[in-house]
Amino acid sequence: MATAIVQVRVDTDLKKRVEGKLKTMGLNMSTAVNMLLHQIDNQNRIPFDISGKEPELLQTINEIETGKGLSKVYTAPDELYKDLGI
């Protein structure tokens, strides 16, 4: 099975808190993210309810859905090199 690297930006304090909690469960961040992705694939939905949709959460969801702040995806190396000025 081929693997891919997934990079996400998260709050540093949140990351530390979650890593500690995952460690007590015998998991690491990579395994937890893989578990989440498999459940999304299996269920065709986020596998938990998102409650209390705070304004900040709604804004973040909207930004993700519209692609704001996401890294550019390159389909060919030449595109990347051009953006890097190489």
Q: What is the pLDDT of residue 52?
A: 67
Residue 10, token pair as written in the block: 């998260």
Q: Residue 49 and residue 58: Cα distance in Å, rounded? A: 14
* pLDDT above 70 for 57: yes
* pLDDT above 80 for 53: no
Mean pLDDT of the chain: 88
* pLDDT above 70 for 63: yes
Q: Where are the domains of the chain?
A: 12-84
C-alpha separations of 12 from 8, 28, 52, 59 in Å? 12, 16, 23, 20
